[in-house]
Amino acid sequence: MLMNILAVIPARFASTRFPGKPLISIAGKPMIERVWERARRASLVSNVIVATDDERIANAVKSFGGQAVHTRADHRSGTERVAEVAIAHPDAEILVNVQGDLPLIEPAAIDAAIEAVRGEEDVKLGTLAVAIANPAEIMDPNVVKTVVDFDGNALYFSRAPIPWVRDRQGPVHAKHLKHLGLYVFRREALLEFATFPQGDLERIEQLEQLRWLENGYRIRVAETECRSIEVDTPEDVKRVEQFLAGGTFLEKGAR
């Protein structure tokens, strides 16, 4: 069944950790362009829009032929920014929040997250996770981990090392999953998000996806083998450029 699926890339200039991050040059292109190019290649996506409150980002998007819309400056999260776009596009049945700091996100991974939602009517939310290959990431609070139930629904997201292996001498093999910051929403669920109160877990961990869990929603996690690099620092930019130049994929913290 054909569905109108809109991918939205929320982008703001005033990042506290890395100001101007969407416009940082990665091998000759602004990062926002690289994310836009990959989102457009997802076979299930009908259209891609960059949502921003900054004229510089909007102008950059228009210069490479993309579509940018201006959104309010007071949004507390990218999800709220995507919800504003959803209101202006009532024909979009499913919306995808593609984080603007994932310049290596695979189109196939985007499609996998969409399929996790599109395929089952009662699944309202989906996201992505990949098995952690570098043990250092398990203890890194900047790497968000998730654990899932037997049906692939998230039980929790945390900056802590979950699951914690209590008996390190035993035969148990623990699989640690790294959450990738991409979300797929059915329209009605996305519009409800802004009405939810922020809970203690979200405030403590500073993870907006916990608001869904605290308010009783299930989040279906599509596991992918597609690895990506989340750009948080200038060092991450170097890792992306190394990979694009034909180098090996370096996990965060690897040398």
* DSSP run (H or E) holding 39: helix 31-40
90 phi, psi to nearest 5 deg:
-65, -15
Q: What sign does the CA torsion over 2, 4, 5, 7 have?
A: positive
* DSSP run (H or E) holding 201: helix 200-205
**DSSP classification of residue 187:** H
Whole-number pLDDT of residue 197: 87
Task: Kindly state the average pLDDT of the residues 8-22.
Answer: 84
How far is the C-alpha of 253 from the C-alpha of 4, rounded, in Å?
39
pLDDT tens-digit readout, 101-115: 999 999 999 999 999
Residues 6+ apart with CB under 8 A from 150: none
> So where are the chain's domains?
5-244
Say if residue 253's pLDDT is above 60.
Answer: no
pLDDT tens-digit readout, 25-38: 999 999 999 999 99
- What are the tokens at 184? 């797929």
Whole-number pLDDT of residue 255: 42
Say if residue 124's pLDDT is above 90.
Answer: yes
83 phi, psi to nearest 5 deg:
-65, -35
pLDDT tens-digit readout, 182-234: 999 999 999 998 789 889 999 999 999 999 999 999 999 999 998 788 888 88
Q: What is the CATH number of domain 5-244?
A: 3.90.550.10
Q: Which residues of 147-178 are buried (b: 16+ CB within 10 A; e: fewer)?
A: bbeeebbbebbbbebbbeeeeeeeeeeeebbb
How far is the C-alpha of 214 from the C-alpha of 168, rounded, in Å?
31
Is residue 147 helix, strand or coil? strand
Residues constituting the chain: 255
Amino acid present at 152:
G
